[in-house]
């Protein structure tokens, strides 16, 4: 898909991967709907960065766990430009809890995490499909996680929600064609303030150092490198749908090997 002049919605684009994705889409000439739940200052910074490339933006506060907000987010793009060409379901949440601590997660924790990480993307897809179908094309990318593939990550609830998102992507890709392609990216450790705050500075630094020493590519991802994978599915994968791309420097290969010992 040529995204010059296209319209893209990026949920959770006030920081991190979402902000990087919005900037990269803008650099390629796409108009962008920037979404945030609470970080208005970050959304404004993303807007300024995108508009520096000469594109138009729309900033919309919306909580993707609420269906009405998802529909309002989609309508904002239609009202401004009359079309929606791409959707990046990036908004996510978690609760950091050691997987061994089975008492550390409540049923409400699961419901809150699923509401954003799994139900939210479904609601966003449902909200944009009519406009994409009418336009005759569309590209959707769901941002899952290596946690959903390997059962690792910040908590069992988070891993489960991302695993569900991966499976949901297969179902949606099957029914959304031929006009709409849907693919999923699964990043590993992503450098940034959000993960550092959740893990704590010492654990974050130790984990980053360990992965950069032991993974086959000896690196961890950044928001920009994850965004590059997302843009591949939007801009350069016209014959690909229903695929899941692991982006972790090969971390999952080490875990698979250790599991066979």
Active-site residue list: 158
Distance, in Å, from the CA atom of 105 to the CA atom of 101, rounded to the nearest integer, reads 8
Six-digit token pair at 74?
């989609």
Write out the two tokens for 138: 């569309």
The H or E element spanning position 25 is: helix 16-27
Task: Give the angle 52-53-54 at the CA atoms, nearest 5°.
Answer: 90
Helix (H, G, I), strand (E, B) or coil at 96: coil
* E strands, 48-93, in order: 57-61, 86-89
Q: Which two tokens stand for residue 123?
A: 């609601």
Query: Any idea how long the chain is?
Result: 261
**Site of tokens 């994705």:** 21
Q: Which token pair is 182?
A: 């849907």
Residue 218 has which token pair?
């000896």
Q: Which stretches does DSSP call E strand in 19-150?
A: 31-36, 57-61, 86-89, 138-143
């Amino acid at each position: 898909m040529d995204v010059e002049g296209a319209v893209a919605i990026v949920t959770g684009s006030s920081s991190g991967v979402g902000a990087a994705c919005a900037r990269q889409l803008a650099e390629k000439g796409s108009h962008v709907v920037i979404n945030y739940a609470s970080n208005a200052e970050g959304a404004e910074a993303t807007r300024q960065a995108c508009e520096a490339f000469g594109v138009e933006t729309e900033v919309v506060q919306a909580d993707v766990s609420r269906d009405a907000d998802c529909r309002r987010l989609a309508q904002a793009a239609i009202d401004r430009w009359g079309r929606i060409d791409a959707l990046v379901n990036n908004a996510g949440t978690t609760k950091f809890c050691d997987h061994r601590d089975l008492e550390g997660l409540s049923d409400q924790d699961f419901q809150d995490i699923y509401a954003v990480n799994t139900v939210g993307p479904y609601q966003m897809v449902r909200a944009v499909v009519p406009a994409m179908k009418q336009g005759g094309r569309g590209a959707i990318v769901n941002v899952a996680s290596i946690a959903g593939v390997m059962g690792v990550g910040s908590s069992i609830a988070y891993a489960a929600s991302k695993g569900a998102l991966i499976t949901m992507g297969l179902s949606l890709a099957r029914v959304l064609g031929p006009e709409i392609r849907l693919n999923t990216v699964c990043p590993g450790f992503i450098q940034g303030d959000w993960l550092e705050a959740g893990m704590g500075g010492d654990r974050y630094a130790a984990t980053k150092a360990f992965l950069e020493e032991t993974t086959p590519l000896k690196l961890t991802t950044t928001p920009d490198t994850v965004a590059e994978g997302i843009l591949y599915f939007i801009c350069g994968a016209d014959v690909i749908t229903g695929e899941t791309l692991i982006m972790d420097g090969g971390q999952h290969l080490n875990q698979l090997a250790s599991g066979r010992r």
